[in-house]
Each structure stands twice: as structure tokens, then as C-alpha cells.
Structure 1
Amino acid sequence: MSRKVIEAVEQLAEPILAGEGLELYDTEYVKEGKNWYLRVYIDRPGGKVDLDDCSRVSERLGEELDRVDPVSGQYFLEVSSPGAERPLKKPSHFERVVGERVFLTTYEAIEGRKKFEGILTDYSPEKLTVDLDGEQVEIPMEKVAKARLVLVF
């Protein structure tokens, strides 16, 4: 059911976001405690998302969700930016951050370790290449458990 909810919400969100010059970064529909949360993460290509963007999208998307009603039961709608240390899940997320610092964990050890932080130097749907202080490590995508961008000051 969760996948169907996400797909329906994304179909409703896409035209709203396009009209605002924004894009859909990610969507989650999760239960935390006794409450359900529908989280929509938005981004602005080449720019930043501000509170006004989130508020406008939340209001318009909320109206569409009420009209179409793709989610049964009660839930909390949250619209926000994915943040500076954003998770990397989709191919487009990885493609966009080639050349930037990332942190990732793997399901099993690669070259004796499961945690990696370095510069993402290459991405393909099959593997990532991360520069760990001059050492290039290739990590198969199917072994990546979690990945996120690292904020560098």
C-alpha cells in the first residue's frame, strides 16, 4: 500500500512543483509510533528551497490530496527541503553530486570496511567510485545500504 500512496502523491505533486520551478526530490509515507507521515522533499535545480516554497507547495498539495483522497486514514503532511546532508537514493541524486563529498555504508565489507567518506568521482547505475584520500574505491550499487551528501565548510 505504501508504494501506491507514494506513486499517487508524486503524480499529484509533479505539476504543482513544475509550476513553482521546483522538483520532487523524494517522498516517504511512514508510520512513526501511532501516526502516519507523508513527507514530500522538494528541491530547486541550481538554487535553494525556502520556507515560502515549502508553505506554498504544502497548501496546494494538501488541497489536491483532499480532493483526490489517495491516502486512507489520517496522516500528517510535511513538505521540506531534503537538507544540506541530503540522502542519496535515486540515480539522479548520485549524478548531481559527482565531485562532491559523500558518506555511505554498505551491506557487506568492501576492502575490509563498510563505511566510506570521500569524493564521489564517478557514478553509473552499476557502481560508484569514491576517492578516499587518493585511493579510488569502486562500490557496486547493490551493496550500498545508505548514502548521503556531506556538508563541507
Structure 2
Amino acid sequence: MIRCKRRFRRHSPEGGWGYADREVAMTHTVAASRAPASAHPSEIADLAGPVATEVGCALYDVQWRGGTLVVLASAMAGGAIGVEALGRLSRRLSAALDAADVIEGRYVLEVSSPGLERSLHRPEHFAGAVGEQVVIRTSESPRRRIVGEILESDPSGVSVRVEEISSGEQGHAQAGPDEIGQILTVPFDDIAKARTTFEWGPRPRRKPGSRSTPHSKSDPRSKPGRQGR
């Protein structure tokens, strides 16, 4: 077993980006090219969940990304999770996986937080994102791209206040003004992909029924009241 430290970018609550150490446990410096077939994410989640609870974390998701086993965890009460807690989880989980011997072959264990913009896969993910902005892509024809705020989530689907919506394979056909601001219920069976989005600074206020327009950035060299010569 080889244990190493990698550096990664981490956003601080005070603003800006900084660097911190994240411990990553791995069985070899060269990762396997694909996920070992013997270990299903749900099986690993059953093992990782109690370990996360023991170190004061909440397991968010377990994913295979090629030969990398990605374990995402958050703080118990929600919000940002500290680097120290992620390090404890990485060490404890690495030992637990070795003891259980549920994964055959080489793999990389990566333990991190879901991030400000995170993927939503399960009903509990959507329930935890109530009040947040999301982008949802539907699977049924015509496929739609929906941007809005999650208002409610239940075992069958999610309710979203629509801010932007488009349809078609490439998402070029825009919805009518009457759909903007409306509450749309999307069944989980119709969701192909979903993730939260994070906007820096205050969001512009729009009247119900108005279209969403792209944000424009002013020239930083210009000042109010200054006339060009």
C-alpha cells in the first residue's frame, strides 16, 4: 500500500482559491484503466457510510471514474468539510477496504467533498439541494435543459421554479415567456443528468414571465459618468 499526498484547489469561505493537502490512498502509483468488476458502488457505500459517520462525516456518493474510486463526503450538519476530516476518512476507509477485501486489482482511492457544483443522482441528493439552483437535462423526447431553483423534492420527482428552459437535441429551441417563472415537476425517471450551479455575487432580479438574458460584463476601464473622447 502506498500513501501519498496530492495538492488540490480548495475554495475558502472568505473568498478566493487556495491550496491544501488532500491525502489519497492507493494500492499502486499506476491506476487500473477501468473499475474492478468485483466492487459495485452500492457495496462500497455500505462499507463507507459507517466509516464516515465514525469520523464525523456524512457520505454523499461513491463513484467509479475509470480506475479511481471517488468517495464524496460532507460535514454532518451540511456545509463545507475540513481537510483534516477528509484526511481521517481517507485513512480509515483505506484500512477498511483492505480489511474487507472487496476490490480486486489496482485502484486509486480519492476522498473529497462534493464541491459547490455537485452532481445529483439520488432522491436524497435532490432533497439536500432544495433552495439551490440546478441544471437538469431530461431524457424523454423532446429533451429539455431546465435551469431553476429546486422548491421541493419527494421520492417520485422534483419541483423546479423555471428560470431558463430550452428543448431539442442541442437545446437551441427556447421556451415561451409563459414558461419562465412557472413551477415544473420533473419525475426522477425523466432526469438524465442534474447538477447544482453556483453564481458568484447577487443574482439579478427578474419579474415573473420575463425572459432570461445573458449577463453582460462592462468594460473595467469605463466609469459612470465618464464620456469617451
TM-score normalised over the length of structure 2 = 0.59
Contact 1:30/1:37 (8 A) holds in 2: yes
3-state SS of 1:123 partner: strand
Hey, what does 1:151 align to over in structure 2? 198
Larger Rg: 2
Q: How does 1:3-152 map to 2 (within 5 A)?
A: 4-31=39-66, 36-44=67-75, 45-109=77-141, 114-133=144-163, 134-152=181-199
Tell me, in whole angstroms, the C-alpha distance in 2 between the residues paired with 1:138 and 1:2.
Answer: 36
Q: Cα deviations across residues 43-94 of structure 1 (Å, max 9, x unaligned)?
A: 1133311222221111111111122211000000000001111111111111
Deviation at 1:4, TM superposition (A): 4.3
Unaligned runs of 5+ in 1: none
3-state SS of 1:63 partner: helix
RMSD: 1.9
3-state SS of 1:129 partner: strand
Q: Cα deviations across residues 77-116 of structure 1 (Å, max 9, x unaligned)?
A: 0000011111111111111121221111011246xx5101
3-state SS of 2:115 partner: coil
Tell me, in whole angstroms, the C-alpha distance in 2 between the residues paired with 1:68 and 1:96.
Answer: 30
129 and 2 in structure 1: CA distance in 2 versus 1, 3 angstrom threshold: farther
Deviation at 1:3, TM superposition (A): 7.8
Tell me, in whole angstroms, the C-alpha distance in 1 between the residues paired with 2:102 and 2:197.
Answer: 35
Identical positions, percent = 33
Contact 1:5/1:71 (8 A) holds in 2: no
Deviation at 1:152, TM superposition (A): 2.6
3-state SS of 2:103 partner: coil
Amino acid at match of 2:53: A
3-state SS of 2:79 partner: coil
17 and 54 in structure 1: CA distance in 2 versus 1, 3 angstrom threshold: same
Tell me, in whole angstroms, the C-alpha distance in 2 between the residues paired with 1:75 and 1:25.
Answer: 20
132 and 8 in structure 1: CA distance in 2 versus 1, 3 angstrom threshold: closer
Report 1 or 2 for greater relative contact order, CA contacts < 8 Å, sequence distance ≥ 6. 1
Query: What is the number of residues matched between the two proteins?
Result: 147
59 and 84 in structure 1: CA distance in 2 versus 1, 3 angstrom threshold: same
Amino acid at match of 1:14: G
Contact 2:38/2:103 (8 A) holds in 1: no
